[in-house]
């Protein structure tokens, strides 16, 4: 397979065409952004770690019956994925109150929500990904009610699988963001699952092991990403 011209460069990844029309070549970057790109930086080896961590999660989910876009790793920083028609709705699944939800509703960070809370955001950098509901999605024709039902069901299944898996690694899955797309009319999971898109806390100390360390200037950002990878695989990158 050959990497062809670059199609797009986002905050965290570069996307390239390949000589196979149904597949894309993804290269993960070390760039880090927060607060709608108002804060920018660089995290050493972030691209490598997010690429490997995402591949690990996608393979786990595929075995558990969750269809997703991951095809194979090319190297430590790059992977091949299925080309999707992205649905412009970000799905956030929350198990504990944290981040924008805790701030918006005046909740203590770490409050157990009892059962998962699902939020939807309109995928638009220009509008800072505003919160939306099912009626907004219908009015804006972002997805059909049937598609959103499937997306919600898959998101909750992902939450169930990853929560159970991660607790065995002494990690609490606080919340996470997912994106979905259409592949030959089938709704499947896309984007990435990594410390950039999830909140991971150590189950004993509640230490943050994700991008909140960058957002909040807590330090040891690369080390926290490395720690997640080590707990998942028993390996370390050099």
Q: Report how far residue 119's alpha carbon sits from residue 133's, in angstroms, rounded to the nearest whole number.
A: 8
Q: Report how far residue 189's alpha carbon sits from residue 151's, in angstroms, rounded to the nearest whole number.
A: 9
- Kindly give the confidence (pLDDT) of every residue in the chain, 238 residues in length, as a single tens digit, with 9 standing for 90 and above: 899 999 999 999 999 999 999 999 999 999 888 877 677 888 889 999 999 999 999 999 999 999 999 999 999 999 999 999 999 999 999 999 999 999 999 999 999 999 999 999 999 989 999 999 999 999 999 999 999 999 999 999 999 999 999 999 999 999 999 999 999 999 999 999 999 999 999 999 999 999 999 999 999 999 999 999 999 999 988 7
pTM equals: 0.95
CB atoms within 10 A of CB 125: 10
Write the burial class of residue 135 (CB in 10 Å: 0-12 exposed, 13-18 middle, 19+ buried). Answer: exposed
Helix (H, G, I), strand (E, B) or coil at 9: strand
Q: Report how far residue 209's alpha carbon sits from residue 154's, in angstroms, rounded to the nearest whole number.
A: 25
Helix (H, G, I), strand (E, B) or coil at 104: helix
Nearest partner of 34 among 219, 216, 228, 229, judged by Cα:
216
The full set of domains in the chain, from first to last, is 3-82 (3.30.200.20), 85-220 (3.30.470.20)
Q: Report how far residue 237's alpha carbon sits from residue 66's, in angstroms, rounded to the nearest whole number.
A: 28
Nearest partner of 92 among 164, 166, 199, 214, judged by Cα:
199
């Amino acid at each position: 397979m050959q990497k062809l011209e670059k199609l797009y460069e986002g905050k965290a990844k570069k996307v390239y065409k390949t000589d196979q029309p149904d597949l894309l070549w993804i290269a993960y970057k070390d760039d880090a952004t927060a607060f709608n790109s108002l804060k920018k930086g660089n995290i050493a080896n972030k691209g490598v770690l997010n690429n490997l961590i995402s591949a690990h999660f996608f393979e786990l989910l595929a075995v558990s019956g969750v269809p997703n876009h991951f095809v194979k790793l090319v190297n430590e920083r790059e992977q091949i994925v299925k080309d999707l028609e992205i649905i412009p709705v970000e799905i956030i699944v929350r198990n504990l109150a944290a981040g924008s939800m805790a701030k918006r509703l005046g909740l203590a960070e770490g409050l157990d929500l009892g059962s998962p809370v699902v939020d939807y955001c309109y995928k638009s950098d220009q509008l800072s990904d505003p919160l939306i509901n099912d009626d907004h999605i219908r009015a804006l024709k972002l997805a059909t009610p049937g598609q959103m039902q499937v997306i919600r069901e898959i998101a909750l299944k992902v939450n169930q699988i990853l929560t159970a898996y991660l607790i065995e690694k002494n990690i609490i899955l606080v919340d996470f963001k997912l994106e979905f797309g259409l592949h030959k009319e089938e709704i499947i999971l896309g984007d990435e699952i990594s410390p950039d898109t999830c909140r991971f806390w150590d189950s004993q100390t509640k230490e943050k092991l994700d991008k909140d360390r960058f957002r909040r200037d807590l330090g040891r950002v690369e080390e926290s990403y490395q720690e997640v990878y080590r707990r998942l695989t028993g390996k370390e990158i050099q």
